[in-house]
Amino acid sequence: MYKYIFLLITTISFSQTININITNEEGLLVDNCNILFKEKSNNNVNEFTKVYNGKSLYILKNVYDELEIEIQSYGYISETILISKPLKKNKYSYDIKLYSKITELKEVVLVSKQNPFKIKNDTVVFNVSKYSDGSEKKVEDLLKKLPGIEVDANGSIKYKGKQLETVTLDGDNIFNSNYKLGTKNINIDMVDEIEAIDNYTNNLLLKGIESEGKVALNLKLKKGKSDFSGNFENALGLKNDLNSAYYSNSYLMQISSKVKSFGLLNLNNIGRSDTYFYEKQQNKSLDRISDDDFRTKKLISDELFNPSIDPIRYNINNQIYISYNNLFKINKRLTFKSNLNFITDKINSNQNINTVNFIENNLVNTNDNYSSLKKPNVFSGEFELKYNLSKKTLFEGFSKQYFEKTSVYSTYLKNNEIGFQNFNKTKGYFSINKFVHTWKVSSNKALQANIYYTFDEIPQTFESINSFENINQKSKFKKSTLLLNYNLIGKSKNFSYAFQIGSGFQRNPYFSDNSSDFNNTTFKNNYYFSNSRLKYYYKKIIIVPNISLTNYTLYLENTNLLSKTYSSNFVFEPSLDIIFKEKKSTYTVSYSNTQKPISEEFIFTNNVYINNRTIVKNLPSFDYQKTNSLAFNYFFNDLYTNTTVNFTSQFQKSNGQYLSDFSIDENFSIIKNSFFYEKNSSFNTNFRISKFIDKLSLNLTYSSTYIKNKYPNVLNNSDIRKNTNEVFKNTFIIRTGFNSKINFENSTSLKIITSKSIITNINNSLNNSYKIRYKINKKYKASIKWDVFIPNIKNKSNNYNFVDFELNYKLNDKINFILAGNNLLNLKYFKQIENNDFSSFISTTNLTQQFFLFNMEYTF
Amino acid sequence: MKYIIPIFLLLFSVSHSQNLNVEFNFTINKSNDLASTTKKYILEQNESKSIFYFDLIKDKTQFKNSEIAEVVFDRDSVVAYIIGDDVIEFFFKEKHFKDFKNNFQFYNFAIGYKSKPSYIKEEINIFNWEISSTEKDTIIGGFNCKKATTQFRGRNYVAYFTNELANEGGPWKFDGLPGFILKVDSSDGYLSIYATKINTKIEKKIKLENPYLNKKTIAFVQIKDMILESDKKYVKKMRSLPNAPDKISINGPESIENFGLGERVYE
């Protein structure tokens, strides 16, 4: 008995007891009350209690500095008691009288002003109908309006400043990195919601463990009555020279529980190019390896130059593009995916480059004129088989095969004097074969083994003939790689880790032959590596140290010189990231130190013609390019006010690099690359702010980029020249979303390029793109687009005005008729000026003609 | 002066008895999105009791994918729908009764559309709320609301409540705050309840009685036993089929609360 008394006394003696009697004006006990206990300084309700029948005896659980007790009851005015520094052992008693409050009886209907988005842990779900204004046709058009998502001129998409891994359909990855196929073609009417996913992983076993911070989008499609949906567009018209113009773009999509497929057929000769499926890939798998790590070099380039305007203006093409993508869920454990793409094209172009080279105190003038027909043919087949042996084990097999055959026939005129007939042929065969075994050891730990066998072979031919001269250059790069790596990843409450060990065997032979020079060199790289990355989470801060250790054994076998050289090095590359995350903002500071061994483009020592004027050779060595890089990034995203701010600043400095030694005269440019320990650095800063002003229905985006590159080179036996190249670009975009009949968007861009060496070259260019949309009535819509380019502000008379129009007639929900016209002012040539540290070029290219099209579109 | 007072009484009421009629939208986002629903519930409350009920079992627009939802089974108190090709969901009439003074709530519960309904009795004060410190109150429907968070049976919730409507009360089981709960969301996006119409202008006093007064009730913790019973029946049925599987694993049923059962494997 004494034990219990002791307990009772202790509980009372260490806490404060509050005893309150509550009555109303009539003296009756108030039936039902709530008592809130607050800390007055921050007005925070720490605890509360309910009171029935007017009497409460409550023991406080917390300690207070200034205790504010609020007694509340519906229909009464609240009363407050303030106790300053309540003493621990005290019992406080109060008699409270509550006075009636006059309450208004009302009936309220809440207008569900639902948020246009929902946040579910790492995913933001955007409701498509809440962000569209009716003018969007394809998924890409709507993505431009979503906060945090950035779509560039080529259609490449970033979320939170990071490149997308992929865009999935109802959770399934069918496109891989070729997501533009979906975003540029799928009609936005098919999509219900768009999810923006942070911490995306392609491997379901690793969900929750892999913390690479990858991002992806998921399109949640509307459920229709049929599994099939699609869009057929067929347009026929005339070009200015009375040749026919045609555009046909059709896709068929099948979405069912077992099969998801997407097929596309595109035929056009109006300049639309769909080369994105063999563009440089951004996504990396868990072991930080992407397909580009296995590619070798295409030395003889078939491009002359690309003007800085939309390709549709100068791409005189004749293209057929077919794509078929299929994901088949054979059973619960087995899925098979295939992606097949084929493109064949015929591109005509007339290009002229007039160059003024400033060498010492002399001017060397050159002129190159090409009239060419380029015929690219590319086929790619990607296959993926996933087998879930159990809930903990996954086997994956990947095989990608790319075939390319591109021929270029051209008539070339050198310095307006000598004519040549040229023929370039490039063949390519790139094969990646990968096998992966993932074992989920526990709910927060996994092991993964990867084996790669890849090879890339690019044989090229460059032939140039006239009655006096004959160049017949063969050049072939080949790269075969065998790579194995073993990874352990895990995640616990405060930290996550990723450890990797592996080895790679790379063989890179290069062969070239022309009548006077011969190259037969093989570069071999055998490497062993280990990579450790730790992510430590402390409150709002994440600290990520990373250490990479690699042992390289490099060989260069030069059959010409009958020499074999070899070098073995141990390389240590540390990096550190510190991330500070707040609710809407993320601050990141990164430091990294990397060392790169020689790249295969510098392994050959004898002359190779890469075009009629340029000859390249190298002096290879085993020096490593050591680079220190420091970057700062700030990202702010407010979904409620639709505001995004992104600021990045990076400074990078290298101790040396392969420096180009130019020997230029009227007829030839000989470039010799060799490693010099001369510092080079690059500094770039990018600022972008995007905001949607609800009241004015305006979307404003301002972006500013500044890049400064400092690099050395040698020109005609000079000393080492230190050059600087600066680019400063400002773009301002305004887009309206009025409910009225008229809407417009305008984008203005100013670019200043400065090249400094002994002399300084500055070029300012301005371009403005204006589009106005007019909704005539429910069935008719029209738009006019006007693009102005002034390639050099100092020469305003060299300006270009492109005018396009489009008239749309909606017959019904399924059928649309469109009348369109491009380049109404019929501009034929585009001329622009560029400069570098020792020359100034005026490049002229011919443009796609003016054309008119009548288009019929059927959607289902 | 005498003439002004009666006019006041017409427009306002010095009423200490809360009479509330609130309509709620109750959204459940299931893992198979085809089965997601937004059901319309009504809550009636007086100073000591409340009933939260669902009657619209024949209204298929309450399915997220209502265009592909069709009735497959129609009884007085249960309607089963098929959404798309193979997802089956059912609506049954629900009544959730709360007795605040005695701290008890009663409600009906069914596992499948063919099983007999059960009646559950449990306490009202089963939540451990933490009232958030915020600079400004959130305004919902013109009422000043404070924010509170809790972890309840496997999920995290954020609720908004106001003391301008009543001293207690809320949709479904949500209760135990010093005010009436107008909005609750689970942070994983599974559940979302929000008020669409609030009516305090009620002429007659609302009379509420326990509809389950004479029914046999079970406790919440006994629900898992019920589920295991239905498991057994299902396993028996599966075993009686030709080509019976060796191992049967059952997950679920998918629900708002964690019943204390994980995946069951029967060999």
Provide Rg for chain A, Cα atoms: 34
Q: Examine residue A418 and state whether it is found in any structural domain, yes or no.
A: no
| pLDDT for residue A450 | 94
The Cα of B187 is separated from the nearest Cα of chain A by a number of Å equal to 7
The Cα of B194 is separated from the nearest Cα of chain A by a number of Å equal to 9
What is the per-residue pLDDT across A5-36, written as a single tens digit (0 to 9) for each?
444 444 445 578 888 888 888 888 888 889 99
Q: Where are the strands (E) in A330-417, listed by range? A: 334-344, 347-359, 362-388, 393-414
What is the per-residue pLDDT across A717-760, written as a single tens digit (0 to 9) for each?
888 999 999 999 999 999 988 878 899 999 999 999 999 887 78
What is the per-residue pLDDT across B154-202, written as a single tens digit (0 to 9) for each?
999 999 999 999 999 999 999 999 999 999 999 888 999 999 999 888 7
| pLDDT for residue A448 | 94
Which tokens belong to A274?
């769909």
B70, exposed or middle or buried, with CB in 10 Å at 0-12, 13-18, 19+? exposed
Q: Which domain-ending residue is among A46, A65, A98?
A: A98
Helix (H, G, I), strand (E, B) or coil at A344: strand
| pLDDT for residue B64 | 84
Residue B2 pLDDT more than 60? no
| pLDDT for residue B78 | 86
Question: Would you list the domain boundaries of chain B?
Answer: 4-126+190-218, 221-267
A42-46, A146-150, A444-448, A753-757: segment of lowest average pLDDT: A42-46
A299 touches chain B (CB under 8 A): no
Whether B167 and A50 lie within 8 Å, measured CB to CB: yes
- CA torsion, points A818, A819, A820, A821, in degrees to nearest 10? 180
Confidence class for position B10, pLDDT limits 50, 70, 90: very low
Q: Examine residue A458 and state whether it is found in any structural domain, yes or no.
A: no
For residues A80 and A134, membership in a common domain is answered with no
Whether B14 and A36 lie within 8 Å, measured CB to CB: no
Q: Which domain-ending residue is among A98, A126, A141?
A: A98
| pLDDT for residue A443 | 85
The rounded percent of chain A whose pLDDT value lies above 90 is 58
Whether A112 and B194 lie within 8 Å, measured CB to CB: yes
Cβ atoms of B195 and B23 within 8 Å: the answer is yes
What is the per-residue pLDDT across A636-678, written as a single tens digit (0 to 9) for each?
998 878 899 999 999 999 988 999 999 999 999 999 999 999 9
| pLDDT for residue A275 | 63
Whether A112 and B33 lie within 8 Å, measured CB to CB: no
Residue B69 pLDDT more than 70? yes
| pLDDT for residue A274 | 66
How far apart (Å, rounded) are the C-alpha atoms in residues A437 and B68? 40
Higher pLDDT residue, A113 or B149? B149
Size (chain A), residues: 860
| pLDDT for residue A66 | 87
Average pLDDT over residues A533-543: 92
For residues A202 and A169, membership in a common domain is answered with yes
Best of B18, B99, B167, B197 to mutate (most A CBs within 10 Å, chain A): B167
For residues A136 and A69, membership in a common domain is answered with no
What type of residue sits at position B92? F
The rounded percent of chain B whose pLDDT value lies above 70 is 93
A107 touches chain B (CB under 8 A): yes
Task: State chain A's mean pLDDT as an integer.
Answer: 89
Helix (H, G, I), strand (E, B) or coil at B33: helix
What is the per-residue pLDDT across A603-646, written as a single tens digit (0 to 9) for each?
999 999 999 999 999 999 888 999 999 999 999 998 878 899 99
Q: How far apart are the first and last CA of chain B?
A: 83
Residue B67 pLDDT more than 90? no
Query: Which of A306, A344, A354, A302 shows the shortest CA–CA distance to A323?
Result: A344
Confidence class for position B6, pLDDT limits 50, 70, 90: very low
| pLDDT for residue B68 | 81
Specify the pairing of strand A657-664 against strand A698-715: parallel
| Number of domains comprising chain A | 2
Residue B80 pLDDT more than 80? yes
A105 touches chain B (CB under 8 A): yes
For residues A131 and A216, membership in a common domain is answered with yes
For residues A90 and A126, membership in a common domain is answered with no
- Going from the C-alpha of A27 to that of each of A31, A74, A97, A676, B47, the distances in angstroms are 12, 17, 8, 97, 19
| pLDDT for residue A279 | 63
Residue B11 pLDDT more than 60? no
Chain B CB contacts of A75 under 8 Å are 14-18
A203-212, A295-304, A604-613, A801-810: segment of lowest average pLDDT: A203-212
Residue A198 pLDDT more than 50? yes
For residues A127 and A191, membership in a common domain is answered with yes
Q: Examine residue A31 and state whether it is found in any structural domain, yes or no.
A: yes
Provide Rg for chain B, Cα atoms: 21
Indicate which CATH number applies to the domain containing A23: 2.60.40.10
Specify the pairing of strand B87-92 against strand B94-99: unpaired
| pLDDT for residue A325 | 95
Indicate which CATH number applies to the domain containing A136: 2.170.130.10
For residues A20 and A78, membership in a common domain is answered with yes
Please give the DSSP secondary-structure letter assigned to residue B170: -
What is the per-residue pLDDT across A579-594, written as a single tens digit (0 to 9) for each?
999 878 999 999 999 9
How far apart (Å, rounded) are the C-alpha atoms in residues B104 and A7? 31
Average pLDDT over residues A682-697: 90
For residues A92 and A166, membership in a common domain is answered with no
For residues A86 and A134, membership in a common domain is answered with no
Average pLDDT over residues B119-138: 88
Q: Examine residue A716 and state whether it is found in any structural domain, yes or no.
A: no
User: Could you list the residue range(s) of the whole structural domain that residue A52 is in?
Assistant: 2-98
For residues A127 and A199, membership in a common domain is answered with yes
Q: Kindly identify which residue of chain A lies nearest to residue B175, measuring between CA atoms.
A: A50
Q: Examine residue A159 and state whether it is found in any structural domain, yes or no.
A: yes
Chain B CB contacts of A26 under 8 Å are none
Residue A83 pLDDT more than 80? yes
Q: Kindly identify which residue of chain B lies nearest to residue A112, measuring between CA atoms.
A: B196
What is the per-residue pLDDT across B215-258, written as a single tens digit (0 to 9) for each?
899 999 998 888 888 888 888 888 887 777 778 888 878 889 98
Size (chain B), residues: 267
Q: Kindly identify which residue of chain B lies nearest to residue A100, measuring between CA atoms.
A: B14
Q: Examine residue A163 and state whether it is found in any structural domain, yes or no.
A: yes
How far apart (Å, rounded) are the C-alpha atoms in residues A398 and A202? 13
How far apart (Å, rounded) are the C-alpha atoms in residues A621 and A73? 85
Q: Which domain-ending residue is among A193, A225, A257?
A: A225
Chain A CB contacts of B177 under 8 Å are 48
Chain A CB contacts of B199 under 8 Å are 106-108
Q: Examine residue A85 and state whether it is found in any structural domain, yes or no.
A: yes
Chain A CB contacts of B181 under 8 Å are none
Residue A332 pLDDT more than 90? no
Q: Examine residue A208 and state whether it is found in any structural domain, yes or no.
A: yes
